[in-house]
Amino acid sequence: MRRIFTLLLLLGLLVSFRPAYAQGGPSLSSAEVWIWPEYDKPDVLVIQHLIVSPQTTLPVTMTLRIPAAAQQPHALAVGQTSDTVADTPYTLEVDGKWVKVSFEVTGRAVQLEYYDPSLSKNGTKREFSYEWAGDYAVENFHVELQQPFDASAMSMEPALSTVNPVPDGLMYYTGDFGALAAGQSFTLNMSYTKESDALSVSFMNVQPSAPVDEDTAGRVSLDTYVPWLVGAFGVLMIAGGFYYFLRGSARQRPNARRRRVAREEPAEGQTYCPQCGTRARSGDRFCRTCGTRLRTETEE
C-alpha cells in the first residue's frame, strides 16, 4: 500500500511540474549571429537570426539586449519563418552598457539587426569585440564572421573555421558552439589589418536575382530589331541616291541645251548670237540677250 501511495504521489508531482515548465520563460531553439565589419558602413553590422523554441507559448514578450553604443536596432522583424519576417514595433530602455529592446513575439522567427560603432581603428589595425548577452537559453549557437574585402591578417578568439569561396567574393569564418544557458554570455574577439577605409559593398559584383535570357522582361533583343534597321537604312540610301540623281539632272539640262543651240548651224538668211544662240533681228549688230557683237555676212 505504501508503494502504491508513493507512486501516485510521484505521478502527481510530474503532472503538476509539466505545466509549470511550459509556462516558464522563453527559450531559443537556435541563434545564428552574423558579424560583418565595415560592410556598408564604417561600423560593424550585427544580424541575429533567432528561432523561438516550440516549448515557448506564443504570443510572448521578449527582451534582447544590444550594446548601448548602437543606441537602437537598425531593423527588428518577427514572422512564422525566417523568409516571412516583417517589421514589428519595439520599446527601448537604457541599462548601463546595454539597451534593452522589448517586443511582442507572434511567430517563431526573429531577426534583429544593429550597427555597432565600437570598431577600434589604429592606423591599419582594426579590433572589435562582440558579446552575446545571454538573455535566453539557446540550444544551438552559431557565429559567422565576414572578413572585409581588402582586409588581411584576420585573427579571432575563439577560433572559427574558414568557408571560401562564396558567391559574393568575400571570405567567411564560422563556428558552432552548441547550447548556451540563460545568463551565459559569449564573447568573440577579432582583429585584422586593412589598408583603406573602403567598404566591402563597394568591391562586390552585382549579381542578377534571376538568370537573364532573351525572355527576361524589359530586355531588348537585337535579333528582333536588326532586320528592320537594315531595311530602313537601305530605303534611305535608295531615296537619297534618287534625289541626288534628279537634282544633278536638273542642273545639267540648261547647259546642255545651250551647247546644243550653240552648235546648231544658222538657217540661211538668219543670224544667231555666237555666244548664247539667240536669233538676231534684221539690222541687229549686237545680241539683244547677252550683248555679244554679231558677225554679219559682210564681216565674214
In CATH terms, is domain 22-202 a member of 2.60.40.1730?
yes
pLDDT of residue 292: 80
pTM above 0.75, yes or no: no
pLDDT of residue 8: 53
pLDDT of residue 16: 46
pLDDT of residue 260: 45
Every domain of the chain and the residues it spans: 22-202, 223-261, 270-300
pLDDT of residue 228: 72
- Summarised one tens digit per residue, pLDDT across range 211-256 is 555 565 555 555 666 677 777 878 888 887 777 777 665 554 444 4
Task: Point out the residues of the chain with pLDDT beneath 70.
Answer: 1-24, 205-226, 247-269, 296-300
- Summarised one tens digit per residue, pLDDT across range 129-171 is 999 999 999 999 999 999 999 999 999 999 998 887 787 788 9
pLDDT of residue 257: 43
pLDDT of residue 3: 59
pLDDT of residue 239: 82
Annotate the chain with DSSP letters as a single string.
-HHHHHHHHHHHHHHHHHHHHHTS---EEEEEEEEEETSSSSSEEEEEEEEE-TTS-SSEEEEEEEEGGG-S-SEEEEESSTTS-EE---EEEEETTEEEEEEEE-SSEEEEEEEE---EEETTEEEEEEEE---S-EEEEEEEEEEPTTEEEEEEES--EEE---TTS-EEEEEE---B-TT--EEEEEEEEESS---GGGTSPP--SS---TTSTTPPPHHHHHHHHHHHHHHHHHHHHHHHHHHHHHHHHHHHHHHHHHHSPPPTT--B-TTT-PBPPTT-SB-TTT-PBPPPTTT-
